Amino acid sequence: MYEKYYDLIGVGFGPAGIALETAIRDFEETGDEESYKRLFLEQNKSSAWMPEMLLPGTDIQHHFLRDFATPRNPRSKYTFSNYLFEKGRVFSFGLLGIPSRTEWSDYVQWVAKQVEEKAHYNEEVKLIEPLLVNNQVDGLKVHTKDKLNNKEMVYQTKNIVLNSGRKPFIPAIFKDKTGDKVIHASKFNSAVKKMDKHDNPTFTVVGSGQNSVEIMLYLANKFPNSKINSVIRHTGFRLYELGHFTNEVFFPDFTNYFYSLSQKKRNSLFEQIKHTNYSAVDNDVSEALYWKVYEDKIRGEEQIKLYRCKEINSVSTEPDYYSVNFKDIYSGEEGSIDTDYIILCTGFYEETYPEVLEPMKEYINFNNDNSISISQDYRVETKANVKANIYLNGLTERTHGIGDAASFTMMATKAQRILDSMEKSKLVEKGGVL
């Protein structure tokens, strides 16, 4: 175990980390040398984007110009437009206009491969602790473990950027049952490869978001003789709020407005705008599912059965199946479903406090509700004796709004703001004037 120093260490090299690296590279093109000695640490084997949800016929839910670079520098070589040019698909794509998830994943990998010499894959960050010098946090020590050979490393840095993704949300009644047959959507592709379609299994899909409908349509096609149950709390699948004015909540100006509010006002506003991105579906998948159910009725079949306005109370484990017990939210009528597989399309959540920062807790400022105090430039606000910077390149939806969630919308802009903040910090450290 030995130590190495870097000006910047990024925890994670998924889309948020890649966006930051491309911003730094574009910045370096204006200078003569490398601006930051840096390293990105990624626990997965690659930077693959949503590998478990790359289903045939699915597309992205944001405009393709909201890529790694266009919002901050449309001349960057890391834009989606340049990707299309390099791949020779500009005119073909022009006849379609919306990237599939397969194409967007290829774009992410295309960019990653151009910049990944700054990344270590299969290296998990276990802990970030203060480097104390005369009662002052002069830097940060990053403890990691190689997932292939278990080798432990320690790095030092002045700047940490947590490019953290959100974690799968698993309702309490399912937590002790997850495994090969109770599966969160974030592990869907791996799980479905182990299933034998000749067994004609019964599926129960829980949730009312986009991926729940996409998964049901996929299962209906792959397992034509299987029964698929859908359990949702609503009267049906809502459509995303896609109005032109409504969707300006994803613009940088709205992010600034959202941040300017008190946390109580932010929470209230978020309830109003959340259906632009959560617990809703696109029109095309809604129509596809409705056609499927409608045509099955014509044929006297019911491959997909919808259980609407239902709340799951418990799940019983039987010798060869699960019994999902539910109650109608409004009538109180109870019922149950016998099923072989349960697919949890129950979304994701942001960590309130990143576990890797536990040793830094006493040096971080908190709000009255015990949440981390975060500046507008995504820097974690710390005590006066901390001379290092911690940035959250993710986990900021509650402070910066829905554009800072899992969407690509603010990714390029956020990366630029973090880079600008580090540049200001560097200037201050050198005794410059802002």
**Could you report the per-residue pLDDT of 192-203, keeping only the tens digit for each?**
999 988 889 999
CB-based burial label for 250 (10 Å; 0-12, 13-18, 19+) = buried
> What whole-number distance in Å separates Cα of residue 424 and Cα of residue 434?
7
> What whole-number distance in Å separates Cα of residue 117 and Cα of residue 109?
13
Is 70 exceeded by the pLDDT of residue 167? yes
Position 15 confidence tier, pLDDT thresholds 50, 70, 90: very high
Question: Which of residues 234 and 430 earns the better pLDDT score?
Answer: 234
Is 50 exceeded by the pLDDT of residue 351? yes
- pLDDT at residue 54 in the model: 92
In the DSSP assignment, the letter for residue 190 is H
Nearest residue to 101 (alpha-carbon basis) of 165, 177, 164, 15 = 15
- pLDDT at residue 405 in the model: 72
The contacts of residue 243 (CB under 8 Å, 6+ apart) are: none
- pTM higher than 0.85 for the full model? yes
Query: Domains of the chain (ranges plus CATH)?
Result: 4-166+350-430 (3.50.50.60), 168-239+278-348 (3.50.50.60)
Position 32 confidence tier, pLDDT thresholds 50, 70, 90: low
Q: Average pLDDT over the chain, rounded to whole?
A: 94
Position 404 confidence tier, pLDDT thresholds 50, 70, 90: confident
Average pLDDT over residues 394-418: 91
Is 90 exceeded by the pLDDT of residue 353? yes
- pLDDT at residue 315 in the model: 97
Position 233 confidence tier, pLDDT thresholds 50, 70, 90: very high
Position 361 confidence tier, pLDDT thresholds 50, 70, 90: very high
> What whole-number distance in Å separates Cα of residue 43 and Cα of residue 10?
12
CA 90 → CA 56, 152, 208, distances in Å?
A: 22, 45, 35
Nearest residue to 210 (alpha-carbon basis) of 308, 285, 273 = 285
Antiparallel, parallel or unpaired: β 203-206 and 228-231: parallel
